[in-house]
Structure 1
Amino acid sequence: MTAPRGVGRILTDIRPLRESVDYRRLWVGHTVSQLGQQMATVTVAYQVFVITDSSFAVGVVGIVALVPLIVLGLYGGALVDHFDRRTVALVTAVGLWVCTAVLLAQALVGLESVVLLYAVVAVQSGLFAVNSPARSAIIPRLIPAHLLPAANALSMAAYNLGFTVGPLVGGVVIAWLGVAATYAIDLVTFTAAVYALVRLPPIPPLEAPRGVPGFRSVVEGMAWLRRAPNLRMTFVLDLCAMVLAQPRALFPALALTVYAGGPSALGLLQAAPAIGSLVAFMLSGWVGRVHRHGVAIVVAVVAYGVAVALAGASAIGAPGLMWLVVTMLAFSGSADMVSAAYRSTMLQQAAPDALRGRLQGLFTVVVAGGPRLGEFLAGSLAEITTIGVAMLCGGVACVVGTLVAVALQRGFLTYDARDPSP
């Protein structure tokens, strides 16, 4: 295959969209639904803070989502390996759609119940923990193997676009039309994701599964990961970043108190990391030419921690310069995108097909669960110190944790994509 030249070394490869109608429909549905979902995420955080006037309460949103995410994330991978992947994805997608309908209903009647918001978030988290591995496991069945890297890049673009545009539009819509309007938009856009799954053909397991999915299936995946030090380190380093230095729960208070802004300011803060991530993605042609993925991940995670720490220092020392915090948060998003690209590639290279669903479930638990726990820790620390101090301490802890982990597992730095070893 001829290597891309010029802008082809930088811009996104869209061949998967041309090769497979099913994949194109799935990607478009996911892209559209991501916009609405991120609008709803901002709205839930905004509602909780307005009702309680507490960053701690916003951080609790992450905790109530964490337990179902862990439990069903682990078990959901086993379901994906045992049942038709389209069916698993479709059933959970319909459940997510119903959750959005509940959020819309509570906003329309003006309940202002934090308990209800927590409950809906918990159910959404559990359904997502099963839906995400199912959708990820579907993609290799829709397109040729040589196009998988391009397909994964497109998926990241969709995710980052949602995180960029969704919070910005969400903040504007909240200020203009109120919280109910954002939930209504999410309900409509998520219909596109459900429709894409409805149109897919059946996607049963390639090999007939043995017995029924249970605890033993989950243990098999975890046991294999224990024997894979390089892949295990990718999980550990992601937890260093997302648990120790996840500032998202602080954004409502940062926007409404430190910068005396409103929903639009909140939307900008929420979107800043994704803006940086999207910019990094658009300029990521060099990523495929780096083979020392372990070193690249370590550098990216350290850069992420430094950016979050500098954002906290900016909030403390320059509270009148919101653009400075936004810039630092954008840098953190760029670093996180690079780390995520290499971590996903390592998992795809080293994980056996028979364990793909379960390992993807574990990946979902770490990638989605880590930030939830991080939100709780950041909100708790901000409650006893200040918002800026919480961000500064989190960034420093991320850097220190990363360096300690690497010191204990130095072999990770020798990982070479040309000779991948789990």
Structure 2
Amino acid sequence: MAFGQLVKRHIVDTRPLGVPAYRRLWLGQAVSHVGVGATVVAVGQQVWDLTHSSFYVGLLGMANLIPLIVFGLWGGAVADAVDRRKLLIAGSLIAWVSTLFILVQALLGLGNVYLIFAAVALNSTGFAITGPTRGAIIPRILEPELVPAANALNSLVYSIGAVVGPMLGGVALANVGFAAAYAMDALLFSASLYAVLRLPSLPPLGEVIRPGARAVIEGLSFIVRTPVLLMSFVVDIIAMVFAMPRALFPQLTAERFGGDLTALGWLTSAMAIGAVAGALFSGWVGRVSRQGVALVAVIAVWGLAVAAAGLANELWLVVVFMAVGGVADVISSVWRQSILQLYAPDEMRGRLQGAFMVVVAGGPRLGELRAGATATAFGLTGAWVGGGLACAVTVLVVGLSVSGFRNYRARQ
């Protein structure tokens, strides 16, 4: 096979960009995610400057998580009952208002940490509404064969934003201040809002159930009754709870790299760098039909890569292994999202996307709690390496034990 053909087969599949509605959404996300990354850095630093307390910085995670759980499930139920375009506009406006709010508090120099928490919670509410809605829209505007490629493209812009956004945010903080980082986010978010406004009407299909507790419970029950969907959630929880080492980065930096903050920056960026590479060369992902087995395999690779990183003593080697983990993680994300979008009927997609968001948001935070607790009990190496190995073994045993998931083929 010629080199050009080999590259074409493995480079990210850009066919979904030929669909105007998706192309606008993708470009809007590509621009807005950079601003989001800048705000993430600025918010954490501003809270630290105001309180000099890591506890308060950690509370930002709770300010994000609680609205994601509550409104993620509710927003998914609403997405199955109303025009998804209108709901996406409403959620986007909520997120944009929250960005303007945090910008205003910085410009006025209010210096109130509770106002920042409120702004973060409001932004998380908007994201909890738009996330499930956006995920449920993708199969409506694209042919099924293009959905995995679209998810790879989405992962690419998210990962690039996670690398570029914090860098630009750091430059803005160092040279201008917090308001500059927040202003960047507010300005860049307008690209995403424009793309949403250009979407066609997307009224609900199939049976419409009034949003509420019954609709949410019905969506969760559907997941429990469907082995393929249930296992796609279970394997992700295994990956994040057992093997997410992010809470151990500061301790690793202090113990092995002399507290060098540059090393901490590399550790923090390593997974995102790997995710960018994985998404760029994801052209083969949509051609894999046995996605259940493949998903188990890449999560096992993730666990082994994390374990290897925990044993490395050289910074470059830790970064390389964590980048390999980032590649495995982004491929896992593409397959999990594709299974969810294509296996479920359209009238359930919003609710299932809401549950997916709760797992994606909650898993890493539970993983950080697990890492911190086990590091206290067993030390840094035990918590880091043991978690990675436990992930690899557990996902192989659990993931391959369910025949429906093990035999799942994407083209059925």
The TM-score, its normalising length taken from structure 1, stands at: 0.85
Unaligned runs of 5+ in 1: none
Q: Please say if 1:216 is aligned against 2:214.
A: yes
2:343 — aligned with what? 350
Q: Is 1:60–1:376's contact at 8 Å kept on the other side of the alignment?
A: no
Q: Please say if 1:200 is aligned against 2:199.
A: yes
1:273 — aligned with what? 271
Q: Distance in 2 between matches of 1:286 and 1:227?
A: 31
1:283 — aligned with what? 281
Change in CA separation of 1:308 and 1:64 when aligned onto 2, cut-off 3 Å: farther
Q: Distance in 1 between matches of 2:341 and 2:154?
A: 14
When structure 1 is superposed on structure 2, of 251-260 and 182-191 the one drifting more is: 251-260
Write the mapping of 1:116-265 to structure 2, written as runs, cut at 5 A: 116-207=115-206, 209-210=208-209, 212-251=210-249, 260-262=259-261
Q: Is 1:168–1:271's contact at 8 Å kept on the other side of the alignment?
A: no
When structure 1 is superposed on structure 2, of 7-16 and 100-109 the one drifting more is: 100-109
1:294 — aligned with what? 292
CA deviation digits over 1:164-217, x for unaligned, max 9? Answer: 32233333433343433222211111111112212323322234724x211111
Question: Partner letter of residue 369 of structure 1?
Answer: G
Q: Distance in 1 between matches of 2:247 and 2:60?
A: 9
When structure 1 is superposed on structure 2, of 374-383 and 267-276 the one drifting more is: 374-383
How far did 1:400 drift? 4.5
When structure 1 is superposed on structure 2, of 154-163 and 354-363 the one drifting more is: 154-163
Q: Is 1:56–1:376's contact at 8 Å kept on the other side of the alignment?
A: no
Change in CA separation of 1:387 and 1:118 when aligned onto 2, cut-off 3 Å: farther
SS at 2:289 equivalent? coil
CA deviation digits over 1:59-83, x for unaligned, max 9? Answer: 4433332222122111111100111
SS at 2:282 equivalent? coil
Change in CA separation of 1:105 and 1:269 when aligned onto 2, cut-off 3 Å: farther
How far did 1:226 drift? 1.2
Q: Is 2:289–2:409's contact at 8 Å kept on the other side of the alignment?
A: yes
Q: 2:303 aligns with which of 297, 302, 305?
A: 305
Change in CA separation of 1:90 and 1:46 when aligned onto 2, cut-off 3 Å: same
Q: CA RMSD in A?
A: 3.0
Q: Distance in 2 between matches of 1:302 and 1:246?
A: 13
Question: Partner letter of residue 8 of structure 2?
Answer: G
2:69 — aligned with what? 70
1:99 — aligned with what? 98
Q: Distance in 2 between matches of 1:14 and 1:148?
A: 11
CA deviation digits over 1:266-289, x for unaligned, max 9? Answer: 554332211101112222233234
The TM-score, its normalising length taken from structure 2, stands at: 0.87
2:406 — aligned with what? 413
Q: Distance in 1 between matches of 2:178 and 2:251?
A: 18
Q: Distance in 2 between matches of 1:180 and 1:29?
A: 22
Change in CA separation of 1:120 and 1:113 when aligned onto 2, cut-off 3 Å: same
1:12 — aligned with what? 12
Percent identity reads 48
CA deviation digits over 1:363-414, x for unaligned, max 9? Answer: 1111223223334444565677766665445434433542453375365333
Q: Is 2:76–2:354's contact at 8 Å kept on the other side of the alignment?
A: yes
Q: Is 1:259–1:322's contact at 8 Å kept on the other side of the alignment?
A: no
Q: Please say if 1:322 is aligned against 2:315.
A: yes
Change in CA separation of 1:19 and 1:201 when aligned onto 2, cut-off 3 Å: closer
Q: Distance in 1 between matches of 2:184 and 2:251?
A: 25
Aligned length: 408
